[in-house]
Amino acid sequence: MARVRFGDVVKEIKININRATDNHEFYIAGEHMETENIHLTKRGRFEGSDVGPAFIRLFRPGQVLYGSRRTYLKKVAVADFEGITSNTTFVLETKDQHVLMQELLPFIMLTDSFTEYAIRNSKGSTNPYILFSDLCAYEFELPSIEEQHVLAKRLLACDSVKEAYKRLLTATDELVKSQFIEMFGRPEDWSDELEYLGDHIDLINGFAFLSENFSEDGIPVIKIRNVNTADFSRGNMQYHPYDPSLKKYIVEPGDLLISLTGTVGKEDFANVCLADNTYDTYYLNQRNAKLVPHEELTKEFLLHFLKYDYIKRKLIKQGTGVRQCHLHNKDINEIQLIIPSKDKQSEFAKVTHQSYKSKYVARQATSNLRTYGIL
């Protein structure tokens, strides 16, 4: 294999359009690209939207789109239609298909080594970004073109299986949601015997960890991206040395977490998840909180109550801020809910545990298909 620099085999395509005269119907923004998903499942329509002047970059089918902001989100997608994106989304092509196959490019950009390089070379703290010129210096092993054909075929087959498992995960979530409604009714219809959530939980906020104190190992720190994507894999974590004074901020596998900060106008906060069992313990940063239910509430009931669309929208509306939305403890504590019998909650918990087993098997299968297993 030859060792090459990214910039030697990949080029950025910068074709700008005039929005005043252009007739493209659809655009792609950051929220339309999913973490570690090379498929575009969403798109925006210019008509009736208020997208800013940065959306001037033309992309065509087959080109790779890469979100240059917050590169830890691993937003790499292959366009399947012609449209417009912003100038902060790179539009990429291989320089020569006989040297690097276009089909292989997105998988190279999803490897842990590529992501770690992008994070390490990003600029800024609040909204870190990388320049294409910085990406150009990334080095990787490039197989022969014959090997690339074999790799591309395998990776595309793996991706197809991964998409099938994702559909299974979605179907499982919908099943649990339906069971929740069947057993407890729709939260938007609850009107009798409502109580404040704050009377039935302890809310523990995370700690403001300083990035300069992060290390190569230690205790992984749960940040917004981990809660929002329920991704606790090594490539998506940062580490802080053990400190006895930070014991209050320890999170254990299975603890219930909620993200408190997001972007104005986007539904990228007020997400809830259970801490993954990848590590024995975690630290929690200040943009998230841990929810500890009292004895009368089960964690399973609370999790799916807070995941319910109607409740999440209510929380998002409470977010305040100019550039970023912040959810405060008061907003969570004042959410109202019914407190079902413990027997009924326990019965629901049995349903969710079965779904967790199914999802765990599916997630394990998809993790075994990650690109670093082949590349």
Condensed to tens digits (0 to 9), the pLDDT of residues 167-207 reads 877 888 888 999 999 999 999 999 888 999 999 999 999 99
Residue 106 domain-assigned (yes or no): yes
Of residues 216 and 249, more confidence is placed in 249
Give residue 372's pLDDT: 44
- Verify that 319 and 304 share a domain, yes or no: yes
- Verify that 44 and 123 share a domain, yes or no: yes
Output helix, strand, coil percentages for the chain, rounded to the nearest 5: 40, 25, 40
Contacts with 57 (C-beta within 8 Å, 6 or more apart), sequence order: 14, 15, 16, 17, 84, 85, 86, 87, 89, 91
- Report pLDDT digits (tens) over 240-287: 999 999 999 999 999 999 999 987 666 778 999 999 888 899 999 999
- Report pLDDT digits (tens) over 14-40: 999 999 899 999 999 988 998 888 999
CA-CA distances (angstroms) from residue 337 to 181, 295, 297? 14, 16, 11
Give residue 188's pLDDT: 95
In DSSP terms, 324 is beta-bridged to: 263
Query: Which structural domain range is residue 14 located in?
Result: 2-142
Q: Indicate the pairing of strand 282-284 with strand 219-222.
A: parallel
- Verify that 7 and 135 share a domain, yes or no: yes
- Verify that 18 and 134 share a domain, yes or no: yes
What would the mean pLDDT of 28-55 be, rounded to a whole number? 90
Residue 291 domain-assigned (yes or no): yes
Q: Which of 61-75, 225-239, 278-292, 320-334 has the lowest mean pLDDT?
A: 225-239
> What domain count does the chain have?
3
Residue 251 domain-assigned (yes or no): yes
Give residue 194's pLDDT: 95
- Verify that 53 and 121 share a domain, yes or no: yes
Give residue 362's pLDDT: 58
CA-CA distances (angstroms) from residue 298 to 42, 79, 116? 35, 43, 38
Q: Please give the helix or strand (H or E) that residue 172 lies within, else none.
A: helix 145-184
Of residues 40 and 160, more confidence is placed in 40
Give residue 360's pLDDT: 63
Neighbours of 174 (CB within 10 A): 10
- Asked if residue 301 has pLDDT above 90, the reply is yes
CATH code of the domain covering residue 303: 3.90.220.20
In DSSP terms, 16 is beta-bridged to: 57
